[in-house]
Amino acid sequence: MTTKGEQFAGLTVALVTPFRDGAVDEAALRKLVDFQIEQGADCVSPVGTTGESPTLSHEEHEQVISTVCDHAAGRIKVMAGTGSNSTAEAIRLTRFAKNAGADAALLVAPYYNKPTQEGFFLHYQAIAEAVDIPLVVYNIPGRTAKNIEAETIVRLAEIPNIVAVKESTGSMDQASQIIAESNLTVLSGDDSLTLPLMALGGRGVVSVVGNIVPQDVKAMITAFEKGDLTAARAQHYKLFSLCRDLLSMATNPIPIKAAMKILGRDNGELRLPMTPLDAAQEQELAETLRTYGLL
């Protein structure tokens, strides 16, 4: 069965936001977009969690979205992060993303204020009614403090322009219920669970590790779609060791930015309260990258 947001199946890379001397580095950001296009990614997602959205000003948030959309110029899809724990602010950002040329908006569950399930539903309904653009619900209770229950997501699937969910609960039961009871496109929000989720009917991933190995993530997805489970599993286990060793070192995006620094693709600059890995951790990370074959 073709899913509702099938145009966003495959590999979406959750882009980091490069900084230089405390400011957004637009030139570096454009290079990251070019790299993903060259590597065959299907979509990029700026200013999500990996893009350090909580520490960007509203002006910077818009700057990153407009820079990515402008530079993508139709060469790759853009799923802009526009979520907020204020419904009015989420509408404003989503409207901006649409006007900037984004193909979709990724909307994290309202964090900190812990809405009721009805509150979640009305939040997304209000955004969908206010802005006519494909919307992707981003459910990550480990960061937002509350789960959007499967029943609520299935209910949201009835809204025409809510087309997909980025599933980051880690629960195969929740993912199974959403897939069984709706036609939403389900995308993994955890790199290590992409293949298991696709086995249930998921259609791809919004990937962190794709910042450094997009071709390998894409190869796994393609192998699965072709029915080559042996190749897909082999790619999964290769990626699994990298994801486990990389993403468990510290809170995202600290380790992925450190990896990109080691590989010469970013300067590794973060914004407080995010802090860099220490020297021992960097050495450990370099060994992980060497073992994988990246150094």
Q: Beta strand pairing status for 77-81 and 43-45?
A: parallel
Separation CA 287–CA 44 (nearest Å): 28
Residue entry with tokens 């992980």 = 288
Report which secondary-structure segment, H or E, holds 168.
none
- Identify residue 22 by its one-letter amino acid code: G
Query: What is d(CA 27, CA 31) in angstroms, rounded to the nearest whole number?
Result: 6
Spatial distance between the Cα atoms of 282 and 292, rounded to a whole number of angstroms:
15
Answer whether 191's CB lies under 8 Å from 183's CB: no
Active-site residue 226, yes or no? Answer: no
Q: How far is CA 183 from CA 17, 179, 224, 227, in A?
A: 32, 7, 20, 22
What Cα–Cα distance (Å) separates residue 63 from each residue in 5, 53, 88, 114? 26, 12, 19, 29
Catalytic one of 77, 98, 166, 257? 166
Active site residue 124: no
Q: From the candidates 77, 98, 138, 218, which is the catalytic residue?
A: 138
**Which amino acids are annotated catalytic?**
138, 166
